[in-house]
Structure 1
């Protein structure tokens, strides 16, 4: 019982601390606006400064306790991204969105995976890995390179009140890539498991 009480108390303290940092970030971000930088730059810099690797105002141990905030934020980001998309306008730009998405997927995933594979000897945790394990890690790293958060795009678009064909194309590509990267990660993850364990790769595992 005491353990549960201490855990709840710690969570409340962490949430309050996170709230204070969030309010401070809102004020600090206005400084970046004065030097013609997006307000989200201020949020990111505040997070870096207050995180465990600089001032440690939000310690590394608190990440698991505050994970629910991340999940709630992701839900809001998804709704916000959807609200910025208009089906009729997207259909008129479908070719542009398609080729932009495929091009970015090819270059981000392909070049990213190849670069990590050939630079493995210079990456501490990949040194000494055999070919199959190195390939597995490279594929997963390439998938991570593809992932893009629509939060930054939405923040800049809303701040600048941007409208027009380019804005719609950017949002369409960003959201479509986030959808495709889930499938890509599932495929690469199962392929990586097969490479590391030596088991046969089964496409059905991607759907499970």
Structure 2
């Protein structure tokens, strides 16, 4: 299957999945993730590993559009005004995620009797979040408020 046809198939299935999952009030981003997992090489294998490798150009293009979209939302004066709140929210989100994920994995690793030190590293990796999905959900639901202004 050529790359352009594969990209079209991915877009079509993603769109259909997003429409179907909208009935159970899931954000489109979540629907795209679910469809991607289902059609990917590990479940239905509709989109194979080779297709994902060949579609690097499209992936980079889409990531560029998302990054541009995120950049147009930032207003320097708003960021300066709320810097203290932004720092606290960021710290609490990152630290809280690290603590919760590390603790959960620590408990799991103790139960299955494997070394526990990777739990801390995996907890740290989990705290590194990308804002793209968050911004897309905020836009989709037209959310507004103190936290959405940043």
Deviation at 1:22, TM superposition (A): 0.7
Q: Judging changes above 3 Å, is the alpha-carbon distance between structure 1 residues 105 and 42 closer, same or farther for their aligned structure 2 residues?
A: closer
Q: Judging changes above 3 Å, is the alpha-carbon distance between structure 1 residues 64 and 102 closer, same or farther for their aligned structure 2 residues?
A: same
Secondary structure in structure 1 of the residue aligned to 2:53: coil
Length, aligned pairs only: 150
| CA distance, structure 1, for counterparts of residue 77 and residue 145 of structure 2 | 13
Alignment partner, residue 110 of structure 1: 99
TM-score by length of 1: 0.60
TM-score by length of 2: 0.79
Unaligned runs of 5+ in 1: 1-9, 170-208
Alignment partner, residue 77 of structure 1: 66
Deviation at 1:122, TM superposition (A): 5.0
1:100 to 64, 72, 89: 89
More helix by proportion, 1 or 2?
1
Secondary structure in structure 1 of the residue aligned to 2:54: coil
| CA distance, structure 1, for counterparts of residue 141 and residue 103 of structure 2 | 37
Alignment partner, residue 133 of structure 2: 152
CA contact (8 A) 2:94 2:128 kept: no
State whether structure 2 residue 18 is matched by structure 1 residue 18.
Answer: no
| CA distance, structure 2, for counterparts of residue 36 and residue 110 of structure 1 | 30
Deviation at 1:103, TM superposition (A): 1.0
Alignment partner, residue 87 of structure 1: 76
